[in-house]
Amino acid sequence: MGIAIMGGVMSSLASAKVQSSLSTSDTPSDTPNLTNFIACDAWAPAEEKVKAALGHYNFPLKTLTNDNLTGAREGDIILLSCKPHGVKDILSEPGMRDALHGKILVSILAGVTQEQLEAALYSDGKGVPEGGCRIVRVMPNTASFVRESMSVIQKTTPPLEPSQLNLVRFIFSSIGRVVELPPAQMDVSTALCGSGPAFFALILEAAADGAVAMGLPRAEAQMMAAQTMRGTTGLVLEGGEHPGVLRDKVSTPGGCTIGGLLVLEEGAVRGAVSRAIREATVVASQLGQGAKNVNGTRH
């Protein structure tokens, strides 16, 4: 996710550079002045992976292994994208709170609240000091890789400075769509947007399986299912179509669509899909508590 987000930002900055070189306007650009990038990882071979994925954007890019402190000291805005259980070790490292003082820390960790992040960084229990680090939670998704993420920025209290919020909005707009929602809606956003690509991929694969069973070659079936899903989302997002109306429009009386839809209803697909979102929301809410095997507690 870290690579995907950095790639989106670099790509946006590169496009903005081309635009401004072609523009004849004197109006200053609202593109933030992000010039240098640092990628930190715990695994040395990741340095080559990062360079291979991001080097072609031609931005100054430094890679560090097991040296988050230097990254935090040298950065102005820091993106935290480790697994949720690794966060305490990273934020409680001696010197980290000074390194992050006055900076923005953007966390994309599922289920880890702003309060938990603050407690990990300021472990003396005195809370965030005046001018300390501003922590912002954001939930993007894996479609960041193709700049089609749905990212949810948590509204912070107190609010960020407008310039800080614009910077966070710029980063996540560069990898897709952005909405801002209150903290209480971050776990359901994690289920719907963070986990969502996995759920939709399962439905897509099932549709392709059915077509393969009826004689379509696998490659065509997968591409056709994916393009049909993309077309449907286009009707909803660009066409403003209500999903129920869309469904009715496709269902010719006595036709094949209503036949297929009734099979889906018999299989309780609507209930199962919405229950998957509810289940993932509950599991997401426990990820920040260090809970183990949270998926094994319900039936």
Ligand X SMILES: O=C(O)[C@@H]1CCC=N1
152 contacts ligand NDP (rule: CB under 6 A): no
Sites for ligand X among residues 100-129 (CB under 6 A): 110
Stretch that binds ligand NDP, among 28-36, 102-110, 214-222, 248-256 (CB under 6 A): 102-110
95 contacts ligand NDP (rule: CB under 6 A): no
CA distance 225 to 197: 14
* Residue 68 labeled ligand binder: yes
154 contacts ligand X (rule: CB under 6 A): no
259, with CB counted inside 10 A (0-12, 13-18, 19+), is exposed
Query: How far is residue 116 from each of residues 97, 124, 139, 180, 219, measured CA to CA in Å?
Result: 14, 13, 16, 20, 45
Stretch that binds ligand X, among 12-20, 189-197, 253-261, 290-298 (CB under 6 A): 189-197
Binds ligand X by CB under 6 A, chosen from 116, 144, 189, 190: 190
Q: How far is the CB of 256 from ligand NDP (least distance, A)?
A: 35
11 contacts ligand NDP (rule: CB under 6 A): no
Helix%, strand%, coil% for the chain, nearest 5:
55, 10, 30
Q: List the one residue out of 103, 105, 104, 93 whose CA is nearest residue 68.
A: 93
Stretch that binds ligand X, among 42-50, 92-100, 190-198, 252-260 (CB under 6 A): 190-198
63 contacts ligand X (rule: CB under 6 A): no
* Main-chain dihedrals φ then ψ at residue 90, nearest 5 degrees: -70, -45
Residues 134 and 104 sit within 8 Å (Cβ to Cβ): yes
Query: How far is residue 107 from each of residues 81, 118, 162, 224, 292, measured CA to CA in Å?
Result: 6, 11, 19, 36, 21
Binds ligand X by CB under 6 A, chosen from 194, 221, 222, 225: 194
108 contacts ligand NDP (rule: CB under 6 A): yes
Residues 65 and 43 sit within 8 Å (Cβ to Cβ): yes
The nearer residue to ligand X, 188 or 225, going by C-beta atoms, is: 188
- The residues binding ligand NDP (CB under 6 A) are 1, 40-43, 46, 68, 81-84, 86, 89-90, 108-110, 139-142, 194
Annotated binding residues, as ranges? Answer: 68
